[in-house]
Amino acid sequence: MIDVNLVNFEAEVIEASLRVPVLLDIWAEWCGPCKQLGPQLEQLEAELAGSFVLAKLDADKTPEIAGQLSQMFGVRSIPFCVLFKDGQPVDGFVGALPPEQLRAFLAKHLTVGEPQADAEAQAEVQPDAEPVQAADARSLLEQLADALAQNPGNDDLRFDYVKQLISHGQLAEAAAALAPAMGQIPLQLRFESLQQWLNALEFVSNDPRGRWSVEQFEQAISANKRDFDSRFAKSRLLIAHGDWQAAMEELLEIIMRDKKWADEAPRKTYVALLELLTPPKPKADPGAAGKSAGGIEIAAPVTQQQDPQAELVARYRRKLSMALN
């Protein structure tokens, strides 16, 4: 196990992962689950001697690196672990997983020095993959729910919890957990964005048109370009299918034709999607300026992978600005 920071991150994580996988454990002194997870990871590193290297990074002392990785994976919580192979972050998980789930996570990426299983044995393992992922999701939701119950005024926790509930289709639970935040004055944009996302999914679940195909909507729109009800319903269907870019294009068509339609619901939904697509900003460290003490840029591969997402959000912000002006 090695502690990493701005000075040695490039050598001990990026370069080291060219030789052996490196599991980066992002933690903080105040984080209770982090203190549960740490010893378990150290024990696994000892048991699987030489199969991977455990690196630990204090999020409070090195927010630049923690922030970049949080942006990449779209998470805000710790403990947060990222596996590096061949100089790149390839997988990760959030929360203090139980030992069996930690082993399952590592087994996907490591060769532990034991004889290779034959094809029949490997086939027997495959069906377990999805239940493990489902267990991971349940574990994360339970941890967030417990943390929020202990600290109901923590808006970051509430945002993460509601977002995870929506992502896993638990819409009624998400609406209940979101309600206290929607009563805030002023209302935070991130919570309004979650509400708009939730509105779209509830529409698809409850409205008869939620069972329409995209082609059915296109037929209705082709008959009347100003059929904004159909356009808006289509955008919600696209949101539910995860095609947010196509949804924003449909919303733009309404905005360009009638900016005030339905109390600006298309614009509000569009802004919500932009907000949800925008990664959280890392804490800035003016002294670091994105470089280590030796002048080496931090985690260049991670930064490069952020560019397409940043370009997408910037492009659609410009499109909205042009439609409104």
Task: Give the catalytic positions in this structure.
Answer: 31, 34
Cβ 268 vs Cβ 192: under 8 Å? yes
Longest CA pairwise span in the chain (Å): 67
Cβ 84 vs Cβ 17: under 8 Å? yes
Structure tokens at 323: 């439609």
CA 173, CA 308: separation in Å to the nearest integer? 33
Residue 125 burial by CB count (10 A; 0-12/13-18/19+): exposed, middle or buried?
A: exposed
Name the H helices within 25-128: 32-47, 63-73, 99-107, 119-125
Residue 163 burial by CB count (10 A; 0-12/13-18/19+): exposed, middle or buried?
A: buried
Nearest to 202 by CA among 251, 230, 239: 239
Cα→Cα distances 242→23, 86, 235, Å: 30, 30, 11
| Contacts of 284 by beta carbon, 8 Å cutoff, 6+ apart | 63
